[in-house]
Amino acid sequence: MQKKINIAILFGGKSAEHEVSVQSAKNVLDVLDRNKYHPILIGIAKSGVWHLTSEDALNTQAAKGGAFKPYDTPIAALTPESRGVLLINGLESPTKIDVVFPVLHGPFGEDGTVQGLLKLAGIPFVGTEALASAVSMDKDVMKRLLRDAGLPIGKFITLKSHESLSFTDAVDKLGTPLFVKPTNMGSSVGVTKVYSEGEFGQALIRAFEYDVKIVLEEYIQGREIECSVLGNEEPLASLPGEVVSSHEFYSYEAKYLDETGARLEIPAKLPPKTVEIIQDMAVKTFKTLCCEGLGRVDFFLKPDGALVVNEINTMPGFTKISMYPKLWGATGLSYSVLIDRLIALAVSRFEKEKRLKTSFF
């Protein structure tokens, strides 16, 4: 029998998307082929501390719907000293990790920080590397790269916490309503749709609670279309899906708290030509941002048929109701085959990079 692959699943994290990550990790664990993989669960508490944890603990916590609460003492750490070694306090022999699946959303997980650490530790990992993770997460840098590649994006202004901007100046450039958001966040945390001067001040305060840099955007009226991308050198796009939100916009509440807050239309009802354009644009966005492995590209489709790229998520949700795996399902790729592919892509990139020289001679 072939040796099982030790796969470390990282979840939780120091992020407002911690709870979503717990649900995603449980889902990945549920579909993992146990004949091939041996999962090692590492829960990252909201404090940022890494804990080795059990499947039972993850399942219980996921069922409760809350944050990861470490109750077991061993603290796990990935160390750069020796490749793929997990040091567990109090245990004699370290466990070798073959590949890591960082099922982490948002800051300190999807933004290149963990990716940098894993690269340094010399361990293959699922998803995009540090650079592309960071630029994809930063809505300001992402937009500038997309604009440079000629991809359609909405008008925006970037504002740093030491700078000021009046409502009148913002409206002059963007109109009303307008959107205010932290640059490095996700799950609509800190996002406000602003109609008035009073709301504007509050929206800036709220966005600056999550980041030292924020973006203000023109409101794009349109359908919200999402497309999954998978691959390294030759990425493929799935059929697009649509999010139909019953709220003012696709807010945190609509995404996670209100069961009737949003409906997913999979696949989206679109003319074949539009599907093709969306798929091409999704792949171009993915490549422009130097992504690898996986990404979900989100668009607005305006009533006149024009498309606007809103953002890319380099570690999209993997919960039971998440768009990324569901779109692949609709395109003919089952959840467990998808996970297999992602792991294979991680290993193939690692092997390719391993061949690179690290010295002049």
Residue number with CB closer to ligand ADP (216 or 270): 216
Clarify whether 187 is annotated catalytic. yes
| Active-site residue (options: 311, 324, 335, 349) | 311
Residue 110 to residue 229: CA distance in whole angstroms = 16
Clarify whether 17 is annotated catalytic. yes
End-to-end CA distance of the chain: 41
Clarify whether 24 is annotated catalytic. no
* Closest chain position to ligand ADP (CB): 250
CB of 12 to ligand ADP, least distance (A): 19
Clarify whether 250 is annotated catalytic. no
Neighbouring C-beta atoms of residue 353, cutoff 10 Å: 11
Residue 175 to residue 159: CA distance in whole angstroms = 17
Residue number with CB closer to ligand ADP (188 or 285): 188
The per-residue b/e assignment along 45-68, b for 16 or more CB within 10 angstroms, e otherwise, is: beeeebbbbeeebbeebbeeeeeb
CB of 358 to ligand ADP, least distance (A): 36
CB of 218 to ligand ADP, least distance (A): 6
**Pick from 153, 144, 317: nearest CA to 228:** 317
**Pick from 229, 237, 221: nearest CA to 310:** 221
- Long-range pairs for 145-152 at CB < 8 Å and ≥24 separation? 145/288, 145/289, 146/285, 146/288, 146/289, 146/309, 148/288, 149/284, 149/288, 151/281, 151/284, 151/285, 151/288, 151/309, 152/281, 152/306, 152/307, 152/308, 152/309
Q: Are 333 and 341 within 8 A, CB to CB?
A: yes
| Active-site residue (options: 136, 238, 313, 322) | 313
Half-sphere exposure of 111 (CA within 13 A, CB side): 16
What residues contact residue 6 under an 8 Å CB cut-off, 6+ apart? 37, 38, 40, 95, 96, 97, 98, 99
CB of 252 to ligand ADP, least distance (A): 8
Residue number with CB closer to ligand ADP (53 or 313): 313
Residue number with CB closer to ligand ADP (43 or 127): 127
Clarify whether 184 is annotated catalytic. no
For residue 8, what is the enclosing H or E element? strand 5-12
| Active-site residue (options: 241, 298, 310, 322) | 298
Residue number with CB closer to ligand ADP (98 or 226): 226
Neighbouring C-beta atoms of residue 69, cutoff 10 Å: 16
Clarify whether 218 is annotated catalytic. no
CB of 6 to ligand ADP, least distance (A): 32
Clarify whether 298 is annotated catalytic. yes
Clarify whether 311 is annotated catalytic. yes
CB of 165 to ligand ADP, least distance (A): 17
Residue number with CB closer to ligand ADP (102 or 106): 106
| Active-site residue (options: 12, 15, 17, 111) | 17
CB of 200 to ligand ADP, least distance (A): 15
What DSSP character marks residue 332? T
Residue number with CB closer to ligand ADP (39 or 109): 109
| Residues lying near ligand ADP in the complex (CB under 6 A) | 154, 179, 181, 185-188, 191, 217, 219-220, 224, 249-250, 298, 310-311
| Active-site residue (options: 238, 293, 296, 349) | 296
Half-sphere exposure of 72 (CA within 13 A, CB side): 19
| Active-site residue (options: 27, 184, 187, 238) | 187
Catalytic positions are 17, 187, 256, 296, 298, 311, 313, 317
